[in-house]
Amino acid sequence: MRPTAVRVDELIGWVLAPPCITGYPKMATTNNVDIHIIAEARKGKKGCYVNYVCRGDELGKAIMLVLDDLKSLRLRDPRVSLADIYERSTKLDGFVRCAAKRLYRSYDIHTWPADTPDRGFMFPLGVVPIEQETPFDVDDIAEGYRIFAEDSWHFIEIMTDGRRLYSVLRSLFKYIMAPQTLDIGLSSHWDETGVTEIWRAEKAMSGNKILHYLKDKQLDIIHNGYVDFAVLSRAVDRVLAVSDHKIITFYSKTNADIRLVRPAVRALGFHRRKHLRSVAQDCYHYHYRLPGSLSRGRLVKKLQKDGFRKVHESSDD
């Protein structure tokens, strides 16, 4: 449930770091585990999937190695569909060693006739479903939006393909009245700290400046599964947020703003869905960050250097 009778900063904090009903499986980073990844792509006119095993490495690095390997096979539209972590296996029957160190690919590339030119849904970088049963088929996760209202706020929530997360965000920026404030949230499940922090830019920024900042720091913010952010209007009556599940939410004090934004969302190709499936609900999943991104401590120092100050801190306890 969304909170009731809360201050604006508390509401923003909730949107930045919504609770996950399934919890966050602890990410292993030792060399004594195997990371299993199922990836999909297109092979000629057919769809295909490939099984991978990465021996004891960080999930973000393993995913990038898999995507690079699929590209080396000249497969189109590569994407990771599922991942999981298991204790190290003594043997890897049916797998061949890839060019990348400690990465193995199944001998067989399974194909099926592709009856549509659809590239398939690509999960935004930073989050991936776990290879376990869920109340719905993970293949049901697709682009779309839903509209709802609670506690005097009106929301339009958008699930977007990871390949166009930034472009969709950029298209919606014009609906946040300038000057704007940028909040960046660090989730409690990052490094299992149990602490959520929100850092705010001390000076108001133009939309273009915020977009340039986010694009410049995309590895550390946009594609970091432990980071969420929000852009606030001066009066804090309109907010554009991206959660750590990389779901975009525009919300406002008035329904008129939602009616204003909705045509733009539809023009971007999104369809309204009664049930907006995502990894955020009823779906076990992992969060991760990519190789080359800053650690939590280094990101905090970078935010401080860039003129951000901590405005909120809470513990899971």
pLDDT at 251: 93
Task: Evaluate whether residue 241 is within a structural domain.
Answer: yes
- Evaluate if residue 306 carries a pLDDT over 90: yes
pLDDT tops 60 at residue 129:
yes
**Per-residue pLDDT band at 316 (split at 50, 70, 90):** confident
Residue 155 has what pLDDT?
95
Tokens matching residue 40? 């999909």
CB 41 within 8 A of CB 50: yes
Secondary structure in 3-state letters for 26-72: CCCCCCCEEEEEEEEEEECCEEEEEEEEEECCCHHHHHHHHHHHHHH
Most confident range, picked from 14-18, 275-279, 302-306: 302-306
> Are 168 and 266 contacting, i.e. CB atoms less than 8 angstroms apart?
no
Angle made by CA atoms 85, 62, 158, in degrees to the nearest 5: 85
Residues 185 and 222 in one domain: yes
Domain span including residue 108: 33-129
What is the share, in percent, of the chain residues with pLDDT greater than 70?
86
Please state the domain count of the chain.
Answer: 2
Query: Do 108 and 59 share a structural domain?
Result: yes
Look at residues 110, 129, 148 and tell me which one is the last residue of a structural domain: 129
Judgement on whether residues 167 and 45 belong to the same structural domain of the protein: no
Are residues 289 and 211 part of one domain?
A: yes
Residue 198 is assigned to a structural domain of this protein: yes
pLDDT category, 19, cuts 50, 70, 90? very low
Does 99 share its domain with 200? Answer: no
Count CB-CB contacts under 10 A for residue 22. Answer: 15
| 181/300 same-domain check | yes
Indicate if 183 and 244 belong to the same structural domain.
Answer: yes
Of 8-22, 66-80, 178-192, 204-218, minimum mean pLDDT range: 8-22
The share of the chain scoring above pLDDT 90, in percent, equals: 61
> Based on the domain organization, do 157 and 254 belong to the same domain?
yes
Flag whether 269 is in a domain.
yes
24 phi, psi to nearest 5 deg = -120, 110
Q: Which of 186, 123, 160, 190 is nearest to 265 (CA)?
A: 160
Question: Residue 151: CA atoms inside 13 Å, Cβ hemisphere, count?
Answer: 10
Chain centroid to Cα 61, Å, comes to: 16
CA distances from residue 107 to 47, 76, 96 in whole angstroms, order as listed = 17, 19, 6
| For residue 168, pLDDT beyond 80 | yes
Question: Which of the four pLDDT bands, split at 50, 70 and 90, describes residue 4?
Answer: very low
- Indicate whether 92 pLDDT > 50: yes
CB-CB contact of 126 with 289 (8 Å): yes
Kindly state the average pLDDT of the residues 95-108.
93
Structural domain contains residue 1: no
pLDDT value for 184: 97
What is the band of 139 on the pLDDT scale with cuts at 50, 70, 90?
confident
Based on the fold, state whether residues 178 and 311 are members of the same structural domain: yes
Pair 59, 208 in one domain: no
Round the average pLDDT of the chain to a whole number and report it. Answer: 86
Quote the CA–CA distance of 43 and 33 in Å, as a whole number: 30
Q: Is residue 307 part of a domain?
A: yes
- pLDDT of res. 209: 93
- Give all strands of the β-sheet with 153-159 in edge-to-edge order: 144-150, 153-159, 248-252, 238-242, 227-233, 180-186, 195-201, 308-315
CB 27 within 8 Å of CB 84: no
Under the banding of pLDDT at 50, 70 and 90, the label for residue 22 is very low
In a domain, 28, yes or no: no
Same domain, 40 and 17: no
Please write the tens of the pLDDT for every residue from 154-164.
999 999 999 99
Question: Which residues are 242's β-sheet partners?
Answer: 229, 248
More confident position, 268 or 277: 268
Q: For residue range 30-69, what is the model confidence (pLDDT) as tens digits?
A: 567 899 999 999 888 888 999 999 997 689 999 999 999 9
Look at residues 120, 182, 192 and name the one whose alpha carbon lies nearest to residue 306. 182
67/214 same-domain check: no
What pLDDT was estimated at residue 21? 33
3 or 261: which leads in pLDDT: 261
62 lies in some domain: yes
